[in-house]
Amino acid sequence: MSDSTSTQSVGSRPVTVERAVPVTYDLGNLAVFDTNMMDPEIMSSADEAKREEYLWSLARDSAQMLVNHVLALPVVTGGRTGGDVKHNDGVFVKLPDPTTQLPREKPVPVPKPLTKWEKFAKQKGITPKARNSGNQVYDEAKGEWVKKWGYKGKNQEEPWLVEVDENTENGGGEKSRKSGSGNKSKRAKRSSK
Amino acid sequence: MMRIVKPKNARSKRAMENRASKVIENTKKALTVRGSTCGILVQNAMADIAAYKQPDVKKFQKKNEIHPFEDVSSLEFFSQKNDASLIIFGSTSKKRPNTLTWLRTFNYQVLDMFELKILNYKTMSDFKTLAINIGMKPMFSFVGPIFDSHPHYQMVKSMFLDFFRGEQISMLDLAGLQYIISVTASGDGNISVYSGDTSNLPPINFRVYKIKTYKSTTQSKVPRVELEEIGPRFDFQLGRVREADPDMQKQAMRIPKELQPKAKKNVETDLLGDKVATIHVGKQDLMKLQTRKMKGLKKRRKDEFEEQGNDEFEDVIVSDEEQPKKKKRQIK
């Protein structure tokens, strides 16, 4: 055991811990694996207090090493930073993926077998129609949403020739209708009968 | 096995989907089950362990006439019924006093299990109570070479990690670092592996400590860590062990394709540790290469006209050939 810390007094343990065999970490699971030999004398001694203190010191060193490594991870502070962060405050560290592989609970999901139609469609290259796409398309030239078809639709061509209304052209927006025409004159006729 | 039912409403459909196998799995749920004889010591032990598995644990209160190493069918049934893949079965008998059987299932079938006889136990309530928020992720420390070398101890390590690690997260709140589970076993890895008798194996010490951090005396930014034991305190002796079936183990250890790391193409590290990249450049069209501009190389207008004229002429020939064919078809 090259652990020099256990000889020091409890209150002033250092923040750096050294081990003869370097320990391995699994920061995704917040675990540290220390393969150094334990002191067989203390472990087999009948003095329980001494043993407990030894275990305590081992755990403290492990905890210190882990905390040092966790604090060295990239930090994300506050805010809705995405991921599984649901809080608004606090300091977060980004944990790496776990390195210790643990057995799954259930088998790896297998994709559902294709139906007869899906198989056929795949063979023919038939893709499902885009649903809920609606009748509106963004027209980049106009800079607004327009209909795909129908009145003022995108597939409607602009008339290349338009007849000019002579009256509006000359009178500048004057009403082209004669005052005596239409319903009014018909009504007058009827009332005179 | 239970029959497979088609969901009748949206809620049960959602529940069934939650139970189905997934690429990224749910947090494993645990059960604590009592045997037909289960003393207060074992009951307390199970309650203390369950406290660190909250909220993903269900505590069964009734006695069950089960002997896991003889027949696991009822435990498998519990596993399926509760969608729980971790089970602790507590029992006491004359031959095996104060024993906890730790059991793990895969696809509702027992994957592996082992017995831990409680040699020494101090309950959580014996310690000065220091509240720990539920659902906090523990830190783990496994000390001893035996956890790396002996298959039974590897299993114990894997089981403890699996049991207590809780939810898998990618972002950790530093305030969530609250306690450490320390598992130690003395003895080296040179103990005979398959002697069958596990009584000569070194005991496993299970301790839980609360973490307190202090400003370090030195200039460094890292805090100094101190621990306070919060219990429970266990010394376990390994009992009977049932190892995982190799086929089942293989199935359980499979990583879905989606989660497998993608092979990085074209980026390598050479012997000196430098990053070397291969860049694939498309084939260059030398006909479009801009060479030195000279008057003599310029395309003259006349040439262009000739080229165009040739094209038209060719077109005419083609159309001439096609036309009689069409006519023939029409005649037929």
The residue of A106, A110, A112 whose CB has the most chain B CBs within 10 angstroms, and thus the best one to mutate to test that interface, is A106
Looking at this predicted complex, what is its ipTM?
0.73
% of residues, chain B, pLDDT over 90:
43
Task: Identify whether the C-beta of residue B90 lies closer than 8 Å to the C-beta of residue B38.
Answer: yes
Confidence label for B262 from pLDDT (cuts 50, 70 and 90) = confident
The residue of B76, B142, B207, B217 whose CB has the most chain A CBs within 10 angstroms, and thus the best one to mutate to test that interface, is B142
- Is residue B327 scored above 60 in pLDDT? no
Q: Name the residue ranges covered by the structural domains of chain B.
A: 26-244
Give me B276's structure tokens.
Answer: 């070397």
Q: What CA–CA distance (Å, rounded) separates B290 from A96?
A: 51
DSSP SS3 for B199: coil
Please state the three-class secondary structure of B228-287 as a single string.
Answer: EECCCEEEEEEEEEECCCHHHHHHHCCCCHHHCCCCCCCEEECCCCCEEECCCCCCCCHH
* B55 prior amide bond cis, ω within 30: yes
Question: How many cross-chain Cβ pairs, A to B, lie less than 8 Å apart?
Answer: 195
Chain B residues 114-173 with a CB less than 8 Å from chain A:
137-145, 147-148, 157-158, 161-162, 165, 168-173
Q: Name the residue ranges covered by the structural domains of chain A.
A: 1-99
Q: Cβ A30–B251 below 8 Å, yes or no? A: no
Q: Cβ A109–B21 below 8 Å, yes or no? A: yes
Q: What is the pLDDT of residues B80-94, one digit of tens each?
A: 999 999 999 999 999
* A14 prior amide bond cis, ω within 30: no
Contact with chain B for residue A19, Cβ under 8 A: no
Kindly give the residue spans of alpha helices, DSSP state H, lying in chain B. 10-19, 40-51, 73-82, 146-149, 151-164, 246-252, 301-331
Confidence label for B139 from pLDDT (cuts 50, 70 and 90) = very high
Task: Identify whether the C-beta of residue B44 lies closer than 8 Å to the C-beta of residue B122.
Answer: no
Confidence label for B280 from pLDDT (cuts 50, 70 and 90) = confident
pLDDT (tens, 9 = 90+) of chain A, 193 residues, equals 333 333 344 455 677 777 878 889 998 899 999 888 887 777 777 788 888 888 898 899 899 889 888 888 888 775 544 544 455 567 788 888 888 899 999 999 988 899 999 999 999 988 877 766 788 888 888 888 888 888 888 888 878 888 888 877 776 555 545 555 678 778 888 888 7
Q: pLDDT value at position A81?
A: 47
CATH class of B26-244: alpha beta
Residues in chain A with CB shorter than 8 Å from the CB of B223 are 15, 67
Q: pLDDT value at position B5?
A: 76
Q: What CA–CA distance (Å, rounded) separates B168 from A95?
A: 10
Q: What is the pLDDT of residues B148-194, one digit of tens each?
A: 888 889 999 999 999 999 888 888 888 888 899 999 988 765 665 55
Confidence label for B307 from pLDDT (cuts 50, 70 and 90) = low
Task: Identify whether the C-beta of residue B187 lies closer than 8 Å to the C-beta of residue B201.
Answer: yes
- pTM surpassing 0.95? no
Distance to chain A for B192, nearest Cα, Å: 17
**Structural element, H or E, at residue B89:** strand B86-91
Which residues are CB-contacts of B206 (< 8 A; sequence separation ≥ 6)? B160, B181, B182, B183, B232, B233, B234, B235, B236
**Structural element, H or E, at residue A31:** strand A31-34
Q: pLDDT value at position B305?
A: 59
